[in-house]
Amino acid sequence: MYFGITFSPLNVESFIRSLWSSNSIHKRCHRLCCHLQVDFWRPHSEDQVTIGSVVDIQIPARYLNLVYTTLDQSAMEYEIFIEDVQSAVDGQADSGASPRAHSYTKYNTWSEIEAWIDSTASANPTLVSKQVIGNTFEGRPLILLKIGKSSTSTKPAIFMDCGFHAREWIAPAFCQWFVKEAVETYGSDTEMTSLLNDMDVYVMPVFNVDGYVFSHTNNRMWRKTRSKISGTSCIGTDPNRNFDAGWCTIGASSDPCSDTFCGKTPESEIETKTVADFIRRNKSTIKAYITVHSYSQLLLFPYSYTFNLAAHHSELLTVAQGASAALTSLYGTRYTSGPGAATIYPAAGGSDDWAYDLGIKYSYTFELRDTGFYGFLLPESQIKPTCEETMLAVKYIATHVKNNL
Ligand code: ARG
Ligand code: ZN
pLDDT tens, 107-147? 999 999 999 999 999 999 999 999 999 999 999 999 999 99
**Nearest alpha-carbon partner for 275 in 215, 216, 203:** 203
* Phi–psi pair at 55, nearest 5 degrees: -125, 130
Which bound ligand lies closest to the C-alpha atom of 164? 2
How much is the pTM?
A: 0.89
Q: In angstroms, rounded to a whole number, what is the distance separating the alpha carbons of residues 336 and 321?
A: 8
Using the predicted structure, report yes or no on whether residue 392 has a pLDDT greater than 70: yes
pLDDT level of residue 271 (50, 70, 90 thresholds): very high
The finding on whether 350 has its CB within 6 A of some atom of ligand 1 is: yes
Above 90 in pLDDT, residue 148?
yes
Ligand 2 centroid to 72 CA: how many Å? 31
Whole-complex ipTM: 0.98
Beta-sheet strand order (sheet of 14-19)? 39-42, 54-59, 14-19, 78-82
pLDDT tens digits, one per residue of 194-215: 999 999 999 999 999 999 999 9
Q: Which atom of ligand 1 is nearest to the CA of 305?
A: 10
Going by C-alpha positions, the residue among 392, 319, 309, 315 that lies closest to residue 343 is 309
Q: Which of 289, 304, 336, 364 for a ligand 1 pocket mutation test, highest count of atoms within 8 Å of Cβ?
A: 304
User: Alpha carbon 127 to chain centroid distance?
Assistant: 26
Q: What is the pLDDT of residues 46-66, one digit of tens each?
A: 777 777 777 888 887 877 777
Q: Is the CB of 352 under 6 A from ligand 1?
A: yes
- Ordered strands of the 286-294 beta sheet: 128-135, 141-147, 200-204, 157-162, 286-294, 362-368, 298-301, 336-339
Residues 6+ apart with CB under 8 A from 116: 102, 108, 176
